[in-house]
Structure 1
Amino acid sequence: MLISMKDLLSVAKEHKFAVGAFNVSDSCFFRAVVEEAEASDAPAIISVHPSELAFLTNDFFAYVIKKTSNSKVPFTLHLDHGGSFDDVIRAINCGFTSVMIDGSLLPYEENIALTKKVVEAAHTIGISVEGELGTIGSTGTSIEGGVTKIIYTDPAQAVDFVARTGVDTLAIAIGTAHGIYPKNIKPELKLNILSDIAGRLAIPLVLHGGSANPDKEISSAVEIGIQKVNISSDMKAAYFKRCRSLLTEHEWWDPNVIYPDCISAAREVIRSKMELFSSINKAGLFR
């Protein structure tokens, strides 16, 4: 089943688990997410960055929508880090059921104005909206970017932002970064900020940059009040590590010979994240 983010995460919030948002950049990654979600009976979010949307082209999503709509497992098709109103409209035209507008690098009032504009447009047709307040760090290993110096989300400002924009979910900054962390950098989440925000807001909260963080910290974040965790680099790294190995060991060129093992490698990561988020066997809650 294909549902909105609001409907997906309201159940996650009520039952105290999180749903993985897995960035999909081709049909193999899409298969990995859908096949593991169905095997694990776990809800999942098909997340697509604007650069991935441009690569896949609009027509690809007819396949995505048909596949997820016919599944017994709940899915949300989500635009990740939409950078403009045009990005959002394109995703809506492709059939996405959720969009993110990322105005986090704008001055506060401009972020509010842009986010509110997206909310007003999306809500008229039942599409959920995710906003972002504060900034996500960058490891230099992800297309999603980020900033050198993280600006942590201010809990009081988060209350004002949600009230004035009407967003359905809020991505907060508590110390994560996009990509795989270099060996000399060890992420440390400020869970006290999360706890403060979770105590003030009724809407679901989102954690970006979920790859390569210590499992214990992510698990604690879910227990405190995170309902959506974005995963991209961990899954893709496993996929392409297996791909490189196969191409080094064998002189193969048929995709149907090379890619199945790569999909399996990605699925292993996806399942481990679903276990971490406590979302396995939660699809029944939606039926």
Structure 2
Amino acid sequence: MLTTGKVLLAVANEKNFAVPAFNISDYAMFNGIVDISEEKNAPLFVGIHPDEVRHIGVDVIAAMTQRAHRSSVPIAIHWDHGATYQEMLTAIRIGFTSVMIDASMKSFEDNIAISKKVTETAHAVGLSVEAELGTIGKTDSEAEDGSDAIIYTDPADAVTFVRETGVDSLAVAIGTYHGLYPKSLKPELKLDLLKEIKDRVQIPLVLHGGSGNPDDEIAQSVKLGINKINISSDIKAAYHMKMREVLADESLREPNSIQPPCIEAMKVVAGQKIDLFEATGKASLY
């Protein structure tokens, strides 16, 4: 069932679980993520970053929306970390059902202005909007953009931001980084800050940079009000580590020989995340 992010997160917010948002970069990965979500009977955000859209091509989105329509679980096709209003128009035009506008690196006032404009446009055509307040860290050049140092979300600013923009969900900065954590960097979430933000804004909250954080912290963040968790690096690392193993056999050349074991390795990691977020079986709630 193809649906919007607002529909997915309204149930997650009410029932206190987090919907996984898996970023994919090719159609084989997409099929694998849908398959494991169906096996787990879990709702799903298919996250696609603008760089990933450019990589796979906009025409693939139509095939994804058709697959989502046929799925036994609710799926939103989500434009992840859109940077401009023009990108949001592109997302609407090519079939996304959920968009994220990320103006977190701009001033507070500019972030409000562009997020409000995107929300008004998206709501007019029935799409849901996520925005970001505060900044996520960045570990390497392979990850989505971020800042060298985290700027934590201010709870009072969050109240103003949600009121002024009308966004459906809010990505908050509570201590995560995009990418895989180096050994020199210890993942640590400010759970007290999360609790304060959730108490004050109450709308669904989103955790970006969810790869590599301790499972106990992630589980606690779900209990405290995180309703969507983005996972990109963990599943891609599993996929491509297995691919490196498979390609050790130099006689292989066909994608249908090379990719299936890579997809299975990715599905193992994705399945663990679905369980951790308490999303398993929750598709029955929709």
The TM-score, its normalising length taken from structure 1, stands at: 0.98
Q: Please give the residue correspondences for 1:100-111 in structure 2 after superposition, counting only pairs within 5 Å.
A: 100-111=100-111
Code of the residue aligned with 1:56 in structure 2: it is I
1:4 is matched with 4
Q: CA deviation at 1:141?
A: 4.9
Q: Which residue of 2 aligns with 1:54?
A: 54
Count of paired positions: 286
Does the aligned pair in 1 maintain the 2:100–2:130 contact within 8 Å?
yes
Alignment of structure 1 residues 90-101 onto 2, 5 Å: 90-101=90-101
What secondary structure, in the 3-state scheme, does the structure 2 residue paired with 1:238 have?
helix
Q: 2:224 is matched with which residue? A: 224
Instruction: State the alpha-carbon separation in 1 of the partners of residues 266 and 113 from structure 2.
Output: 38
Aligned amino acid, residue 27 of structure 1: Y
- Name the structure 1 match of 2:76: 76
User: How far off is 1:142 after superposition?
Assistant: 3.1
CA distance in 2, matches of 1:72, 1:227: 21
Q: Which residue of 2 aligns with 1:280?
A: 280
Indicate the SS of the match to 2:100: strand
Query: Quick one: distance in 1 between partners of 2:62 and 2:148?
Result: 37
Query: Post-superposition, which runs of at least 4 consecutive aligned residues in structure 1 deviate over 4 A?
Result: none
Aligned to 1:145: 145
**Partners of 2:48 and 2:79 within 8 A in 1:** yes
Of 245-254 and 259-268, deviating more is: 245-254
| 1:157 alignment counterpart | 157
Identical amino acids, percent of aligned pairs: 51
Kindly state the Cα deviation for residue 78 of structure 1 after the two structures are TM-superposed. Answer: 0.4
**Quick one: distance in 2 between partners of 1:91 and 1:265?**
30
Determine the C-alpha separation between the residues in 1 that align with 2:4 and 2:124.
Answer: 13
SS across alignment from 1:100: strand
Residue in 1 that maps onto 2:16 = 16
Secondary structure at 2:150 match in 1: coil
CA distance in 1, matches of 2:12, 2:111: 27
- Give the Cα–Cα distance (whole angstroms) in 1 for the partners of residues 257 and 46 of structure 2: 25
What is the CA–CA distance in structure 1 between the aligned matches of 2:251 and 2:146, rounded to whole Å?
38
> Could you say which residue in structure 2 is the equivalent of 1:269?
269
Alignment root-mean-square deviation, CA:
0.8
Q: Deviations over 1:164-195 (max 9, x none)?
A: 00000000000100000001111110011100
State the match for 1:120 in structure 2: 120
How far apart are residue 250 of structure 1 and its match?
A: 4.2
Report the secondary structure of 1:156's partner residue: helix
Give me the TM-score of the superposition, normalised by structure 2: 0.99
Q: CA deviation at 1:143?
A: 3.4
Q: Is the 8 A contact 1:142 1:178 kept in 2?
A: no
State the AA in 1 paired with 2:140.
G
Equivalent AA in structure 1 for residue 261 of structure 2: D
Query: Which residue is 1:85 aligned to?
Result: 85
Distance in structure 1 (CA, Å) of the matches to 2:267 and 2:154: 36
1:254 to 2:254 alignment: yes
SS at match of 1:29: helix
C-alpha deviations, 1:1-30, integer Å up to 9, x for none? 011111101101111110110001111110
Query: Cα gap change, 1:179/1:141 in structure 2, threshold over 3 Å: closer, same or farther?
Result: farther
1:239 maps to what in 2? 239
Identify the residue that residue 189 of structure 1 maps to in structure 2.
189
Task: Show CA shifts across 1:200-252 (max 9, x none).
Answer: 11210000000011000000000000000000000000000000001114421
Contact 2:143 2:233 in 1 (8 A): no
Residue in structure 1 matched with residue 132 of structure 2 by the alignment: 132
Q: Which digits, 9 at most, give the CA deviation of each residue in 1:58-88, with x for residues without a partner?
A: 1101110000011120001100000001111
Distance in 1 (CA, whole Å) between partners of 2:244 and 2:129 is 37
Map residues 203-222 of structure 1 onto 2, 5 A cutoff: 203-222=203-222
Q: Which amino acid aligns with 1:171?
A: A
